[in-house]
Structure 1
Amino acid sequence: MSTTVTDEQVQALAATAKSFSLALLHWSPGRTMDGADEIERQHQRRMVSLRADGVIAVLCPVASDTVAGVAIMTVPAEQAAQIMAADPCVQAGMMHCDVHPCHGFPGDGLPA
């Protein structure tokens, strides 16, 4: 780390925090079931649609045999859990999802 940050800067940033939900998708043993490719395409279309609708602020598929992806969602954790429970891959037993309330800072984003 080369940037020095003061306690006042940390407090000023913390004052701007907004509530979000963190959805962590994990692969389940059903990942390789018959028809998995089509179910995963349905999942992908749904996730991109949720992103386009603003329900997902940041969408990050993960290249892993255990973690399938991460989404920062703009809805409360209870609603995010309901949304993710209706996901095609979750319903098929290909993935399971853990949802946690979190905070983020408006304007943060991925570099272009």
Structure 2
Amino acid sequence: MTRFTDEQMQAAMTQTREYTVVLLEAGPQHDTDGARAIIWEHGRRNFELRADGILNIVCPIADDSPLCGVGIFSGTPDEIRRVMDEDPGVRAGVFTYQLHPARSFPGDSLLA
């Protein structure tokens, strides 16, 4: 394991940026007729947000919990709240969400 000194850690911490973590949960309309089509459009919007550099990491959750996905967005919670309020799944009640301010290192990514 690579070791870091306190000085290296302090220097690296100055490079962090603010992000917003979104926890997407099943809403009251999640299991209704027509929800699949709305979820498809939600996914299309995620592709657009990724292409525009707003949604950095998106992780659909594939278990039986109410949690449907986790996203890491560039922007403040207030900015991302406006983005999420326009999501077709949120607008239709298929999803609800929670916002959490966070910090991370620019350039972090999932390994291929």
Gaps of 5+ in 1: none
Matched with 1:103 is: 103
Task: Indicate the residue corresponding to 1:57 in structure 2.
Answer: 56
Structure-1-length-normalised TM-score: 0.90
Deviation readout 1:4-42 (Å, 9 max, x if unpaired): 332222211111001111111111232111101101101
1:69 aligns to 2:91 (yes or no): no
Structure 1 distance, partners of 2:68, 2:28, is 12
SS of 1:69 mapped into structure 2 = strand
Q: Percentage identity across aligned positions?
A: 39
The answer to whether structure 1 residue 43 and structure 2 residue 32 are counterparts is no
**Greater mean deviation of Cα atoms: 62-71 or 13-22:** 62-71
Q: Number of aligned residue pairs: give it.
A: 111
TM-score if structure 2 supplies the norm length? 0.90
Question: How far apart, CA to CA, are the structure 2 residues paired with 1:49 and 1:19?
Answer: 21
For 2:63 and 2:47, locate their aligned partners in 1 and report how far apart those are by CA, in whole Å.
Answer: 19
The answer as to 2:89 corresponding to 1:82 is no
* Letter of the 2:31 counterpart: T
